[in-house]
Amino acid sequence: MARKGLEHEEAWDPEEYKEFTRETWDYASPAYVAFATRYLEPYGRELLKMLKVPRRGRLLDLACGGGEPGITLAKRMGPLIEVVGCDLSPKMVEVARREARRKGASNISFRVADAEDLPFPRGAFDMVTCRFGLQIFSTPEKALREMRRVLKPGGQLGVAVWGLPWRAEFLDLIIGAIVRNTAQPEYIPTPYEFGNIKELKGALARAGFRQVKDRRVVIDMPVDSPSQYWDAIRRASPIGPVLDYHPRAHVAKVKDDVYRQLRKYPRRGGKIWVPNEAVMAVARK
């Protein structure tokens, strides 16, 4: 959704954005697992329910972050399944390797790789998953073609992306506040690039996928307090570096905006509950 030099009115450069993505997810890696466990893994479980996971073969998890849902797949399916996780961020790959060791998943490996130029031969995998990565790739159409290339004929793809901003409310608390209170360049990718199901299905079809099935998943996200939300999302995502490029006065306005928005959501059990939608799709090569 952002890149280095965000405050300047200059042409958007996909390669520069890709490097910014790598750097900022490196930054987020120490805090990412705790955040993902709480807020992302529920969606990962829903995505896995949509897939017909083979009992044996090779599985690829792109934009693997801290290792999920690949680690869960590896442990659930056992030694007849080999899982490979890839991420653009070297530090995130280090985190994923530690998590796999901690969770006792021996049939999974990780490597640094660009989803738009995968280091695997044609037809190398029986299934590909990508949880919340497609919408932040520099050239997602190219990444989809690569996903199809490395799948075997009949192989299955499963992707999850965020819904549109008025549906992905947990995410838009901060994204919307940034847009409202800071200067923006002419174009930047947003986390909602494929939030319209028709757009996602169209992109899959153009990449050559067939038998596309989709669903929307809304989960209420628990927020302990406005400060917990603000600190967690700044530390565990590129939001921290994005805000660091803005004047402090602008950042203060963003923070006030977020705190003000959180007041409108219900409280139960001492927490604030914010609904958030993800769009999921599975398809065949």
Please tell me the distance from the alpha carbon of residue 161 to that of residue 62, in angstroms, as a whole number: 13
Please tell me the distance from the alpha carbon of residue 266 to that of residue 269, in angstroms, as a whole number: 10
Question: pLDDT category, 38, cuts 50, 70, 90?
Answer: very high
Q: Which carries the bigger pLDDT value, residue 7 or residue 163? A: 163
Kindly tell me if the per-residue pLDDT of 168 is higher than 70: yes
Please tell me the distance from the alpha carbon of residue 63 to that of residue 201, in angstroms, as a whole number: 20
6 Cβ partners below 8 Å, 6+ apart? 182, 184, 185, 188, 242, 245, 246
Residues 46 and 22 sit within 8 Å (Cβ to Cβ): no
Q: How many other CB atoms are found less than 10 A from the CB of residue 8?
A: 10
What's the confidence (pLDDT) of residue 3?
Answer: 33
**3-state helix vs strand vs coil in the chain, percent to 5:** 45, 25, 30
Mean per-residue pLDDT, 9-38: 89
Please tell me the distance from the alpha carbon of residue 109 to that of residue 106, in angstroms, as a whole number: 8
Percentage of residues in the chain with pLDDT exceeding 70?
Answer: 94
Q: Which carries the bigger pLDDT value, residue 245 or residue 92? A: 92
Residue type, 5: G
Kindly tell me if the per-residue pLDDT of 79 is higher than 70: yes
Q: Which of 167, 155, 176 is nearest to 197 (CA)?
A: 167
Kindly tell me if the per-residue pLDDT of 147 is higher than 50: yes
What's the confidence (pLDDT) of residue 14?
Answer: 83
CATH of domain 14-166+186-220+277-284: 3.40.50.150
What's the confidence (pLDDT) of residue 108?
Answer: 97
What's the confidence (pLDDT) of residue 189?
Answer: 67
Q: Which of 109-123, 145-159, 238-252, 270-284 has the least mean pLDDT?
A: 238-252
CA-based torsion, 177, 242, 39, 137: positive or negative: positive
Mean per-residue pLDDT, 263-284: 97
Question: pLDDT category, 6, cuts 50, 70, 90?
Answer: very low
Percentage of residues in the chain with pLDDT exceeding 90?
Answer: 86
